[in-house]
Amino acid sequence: MKRLPAIVVVLCFLTSPVFSVQEAPSLTFPVSGFTLKNGLHVILAQDNSLPLVTVAIAYRVGSINESRGKTGLAHMLENLMFQGSRHIAPMQHVSFIHKIGGTMNAATTEDKTLFYQTIPSHQLVLALWLEADRMMSLRLESSSIIRVKQSLLDEIRNRKERDPFLACSLYFDRMLFPDESYHHPVFGKESDIRMVTIEDARRFYSQYYGPNNAVLCISGSFDDDEIIPQIKKYFETIPPIKQIPPPSISVHENPPGGREEIYEDYMIPLPGFYLGYRIASPLHEDFYPLVLIEYILLHGMSSRLQSRLIRRERSAFRLSGGIDIKKDLAAFRIFVQNNNEATKELARRSIQSELNNMRNFPIPDREFDKIKSMFIADFIKQYYTSEDKALRLINTYLLKNKIEDPSQELAKYLAVTPATIVGIMNRYFGRDQFSLDLKRK
């Protein structure tokens, strides 16, 4: 086991809801990492302020790892991971956690499958045993596959009923991300889910759900000297995956130029449109100002687009969007829903007007300081609880393959200037615009 040096993370939690751009952090918690012999990477973030601990484990597998005709397998495995293993009955993992007063959740994205539970700290070993057992010996049976398939099909139908814009949103995804590995929905296609066999599920599990394709993060109240032997006891005997298949991705560069299309569907209740721009990877230095641009345009009712379209002009009654990250690719999306065609065109012109203003004029210092204060507050909230810390640390490690000191990361955002914003706006929000006009048939 190779132990990496501890990183002391320092953060500032202020009592005021408004954070000064010049304020420095003040909460300290140690973060360390090491890798077991079988390849499992472990992150430890100790905080004894409350008798709680979060155990999170993420597998580097998501919808981009699915092959054509097998979409939805990653999401299906997320559900199957609760259907029992060698020593645990179906759904017993859930009942164990709830009986001790814990909470839990799971999620699947394009590039990861994540499981996490927050429990009383004296029950930490129970969570380790539960996670290790299903990593080593998940029980995949035909009856479980049938139940989960039906549950997923019902979930897709419910999504379609609740969101009349789901189909056009997925269509816009295909415009922004041409490669099929990125643009098919994480929850899969109904036709593919119906055809999944138990052999498909077993093969997918054996290819990706092993220690050398996972990251374990423990955050909260624990003792290093006591927990490290327990981690080794439960996880180090699990054999690594011999060969992890790489995702079949063919597109890593921005699609050339922009596209304008019209989407007609009888499900669309009212006019609307999508606008989008392919932007820098979350690993690129340009990503820091791009996040602040998201705040300037869309965060809160005082943001430029919310204030103009919703409050002043009332040209839109629904406005959403922001940065959409898919592994190491990203896009900036804006969705607007309108009452009629006239307000739709007014909203479109207003958005272009605001983007042009940001391309040509620096944001005033007062407005920019307010945006940065909002960002600092949101940034710090990501470390409030043991669960917040665990999810933030594990997501950062999966993206960057390292633990980044949050104070240094925050400094990169705060170093952005109004002049930087102008340059980034001209680099990414120019001619290469993707537009999807929504109309009812």
Cα–chain center distance at 164: 23
Between residues 254 and 127, the one the model is more confident about? 127
Q: Which residue has the higher pLDDT, 350 or 7?
A: 350
The H or E element that residue 229 is part of is helix 224-235
| DSSP 3-state percent helix, strand, coil across the chain (nearest 5) | 45, 20, 35
CA 434/CA 438 separation, integer angstroms:
13
Matching CATH topology for 36-235 and 259-440? Answer: yes
For residue 99, the SS3 value is helix
Q: Which of 8-12, 227-231, 337-341, 367-371 has the lowest mean pLDDT?
A: 8-12
DSSP-derived secondary structure letter, 355: H
Q: What is the mean pLDDT of residues 23-45?
A: 83
For residue 432, what are the contacts with CB-CB under 8 A and spacing of at least 6?
254, 256, 257, 258, 277, 278
Give pLDDT, residue 22.
54
pLDDT tens per residue, range 197-207? 999 999 999 99
Residue among 279, 270, 363 nearest 324 (CA): 279
Between CA 182 and CA 179 the distance in angstroms is 6
Is residue 285 predicted with pLDDT exceeding 90?
A: yes
Q: Is the pLDDT assigned to residue 357 strictly greater than 50?
A: yes
Q: How confident is the model at residue 431 (pLDDT cuts 50, 70, 90)?
A: confident
Average pLDDT score over residue span 112-132: 98
> How much is the average pLDDT of 396-402?
92
Residue-wise burial string across 361-374, b where 16 or more C-beta atoms lie within 10 A, e elsewhere: eebeeeebebbbbb
Spatial distance between the Cα atoms of 147 and 256, rounded to a whole number of angstroms? 43
pTM: 0.91
Query: Which residue's entry shows tokens 């609740």?
Result: 162
Q: CATH number for 36-235: choose from 3.30.930.10, 3.30.2130.10, 3.20.20.60, 3.30.830.10.
A: 3.30.830.10
Question: Buried (b) or exposed (e) across 260-298, using 16+ Cβ within 10 A?
Answer: eeebeeeebebbbbbbbbbbbebeeebbbbbbbbbbbbb
3-state secondary structure of 176: helix
Rounded (10°) angle between helices 341-360 and 287-298: 140
Residue 269 clears pLDDT 60, i.e. is over it? yes
Local structure of residue 88 (DSSP, 8 states): B
**Taking 50 as the threshold, does the pLDDT of residue 294 lie above it?**
yes
Q: Which of the residue ranges 10-14, 81-85, 210-214 would you say has the lowest mean pLDDT?
A: 10-14
Q: Is the pLDDT of residue 223 over 70?
A: yes
- Mean pLDDT, residues 4-16 taken together: 43
What average pLDDT does this structure show over 182-194? 91
Domain 259-440 belongs to what topology? Cytochrome Bc1 Complex; Chain A, domain 1 (3.30.830)
Residue 26 has pLDDT above 70, yes or no: no
Using DSSP's 3-state secondary structure scheme, residue 184 falls into: coil
| Domain spans of the chain, in order of start | 36-235, 259-440
Q: What are the CA-CA distances from residue 420 to residues 134, 288, 399, 402 (Å)?
A: 48, 10, 24, 27
Q: Residue 246: pLDDT band by 50, 70, 90 thresholds?
A: confident
pLDDT tens per residue, range 143-179: 999 999 999 999 999 999 999 999 999 999 999 988 7
Give me the count of residues in the chain: 441
* Residue 53 pLDDT exceeds 60: yes
